[in-house]
Structure 1
């Protein structure tokens, strides 16, 4: 992974939440959770909601332009679009979600089977991808509804089972996650600590190394993310704009 001085070792993307309806009539994305990363939404346009399942149970948080909401690892979340919802997404531990730190809420039998999960999550070739995105979302919604209904009824057993199955699903890949954390957020924290210690000793040499970085222009086409059409910004330090 290329070095990045972007604040906090985070990733940055612009997300337009899917506007088509799932079988329950709700428009939006595929419910899922992150096992390690914290995610934040800064709403820039439209309105909608964030449906979540966490230690407090099921909750729906209204979203509109200017809303800021973030959720910690283990929060099952579903982005709901009620009219042109677009958000800026800040994700901690840049690169980790792409490495497997995201598990969709497919029905329990699928999450418990790595091969079945991989098949359900795959978007395949470009041709017909939009249809497969909807099919994947609908499958995740079915599992989400089962978890939600159980939690509302006071039964947290299915949620605990999902947590365990998700952990087992990523067990093989999780061994490499530490490297990603060390290369981005941990490296930045250690750099900041070193600078504070240097300044405390009267050493300000690093100030002479200051520079501006600028993300390159983004392609017109957006990729298919879990929650919507997504455009990720390249915030590596390879793109420099000296002024």
Structure 2
């Protein structure tokens, strides 16, 4: 508190991570499974902390297909390049932690759309885009997007289970090409966010070692509230936080893409 007022949010969360709360979709897909839109992240590790209900996360990676059960207290995380699909069981609720706060918001995630969609940036943009808001039109678009991502995902999964990693690796390469033009902007976000947080710790260690920890005079506390409730995310309905170091709603949600794959604020 400063003169009775709460400080504004000017400092990132620990490690400059991103944060959201997620309720997995209960929409049934073509394979009879209820859940979200399969996708991967290109430079960010993602973690699920289960706060209620039950379900699973299905993953595709060089070690094959996995179906990881999730229940209260479970912790699961996956590294860049891992395709993941959240599966609803019974009222599955999760707190999501994202590495490199700011990068997912800038479009780090790519959906597992069929190859012909991924090959055409304009077609990908149209498929990935959601109308703004949380009304019926947005819900219908989110469901269409999920179904298209599942369509591509099922082909990748079938091939990987059969021992053919070619389609999965081709998807990784296509996803990387789709976002390549955004890397310089991502690098600046990383420098201002996660890298700056690590460098700040280094400076604090130097100050402690010198016996002059002047930075402690700036100690304070922060408080925040969700900036949007019940938004349509990749995996489910999501409560988001506008956090320092993030310029757009959490989790790389491509509410609008340009034909080159760069995201516009929608």
Normalised-by-shorter TM-score class:
over 0.9
Structure 2: give runs of 5+ residues left out of the alignment: 1-8, 246-266
**How far has the Cα of 1:236 moved from its partner?**
2.8
**How far has the Cα of 1:98 moved from its partner?**
1.9
Structure 1: give runs of 5+ residues left out of the alignment: 238-243
Distance in 2, Cα, partners of 1:215 & 1:111: 37
**How far has the Cα of 1:4 moved from its partner?**
2.7
After superposition, residues 136-155 of structure 1 pair within 5 angstroms as 136-155=145-164
**How far has the Cα of 1:205 moved from its partner?**
1.5
Distance in 2, Cα, partners of 1:101 & 1:116: 18
Q: 2:4 corresponds to which residue? A: none
Match of 1:178 among 170, 179, 187: 187
**How far has the Cα of 1:202 moved from its partner?**
0.8
Note the aligned Cα RMSD (angstroms): 1.5
**How far has the Cα of 1:5 moved from its partner?**
3.0
Q: 1:240 corresponds to which residue? A: none
TM-score, normalised with respect to structure 2: 0.85
Moved over 3 A (4+): none
Q: Is the contact between residue 226 and residue 240 of structure 2 (CA under 8 Å) also seen in structure 1?
A: no
TM-score, normalised with respect to structure 1: 0.93
1:103 is the counterpart of 2:110: yes
Helix, strand or coil at the partner of 1:213: coil
**How far has the Cα of 1:24 moved from its partner?**
1.0
Match of 2:239 among 222, 231, 242: 231
1:35 is the counterpart of 2:35: no
1:119 is the counterpart of 2:126: yes
Helix, strand or coil at the partner of 1:222: strand
Q: 1:135 corresponds to which residue? A: 144
Q: 2:216 corresponds to which residue? A: 207
Helix, strand or coil at the partner of 2:175: helix
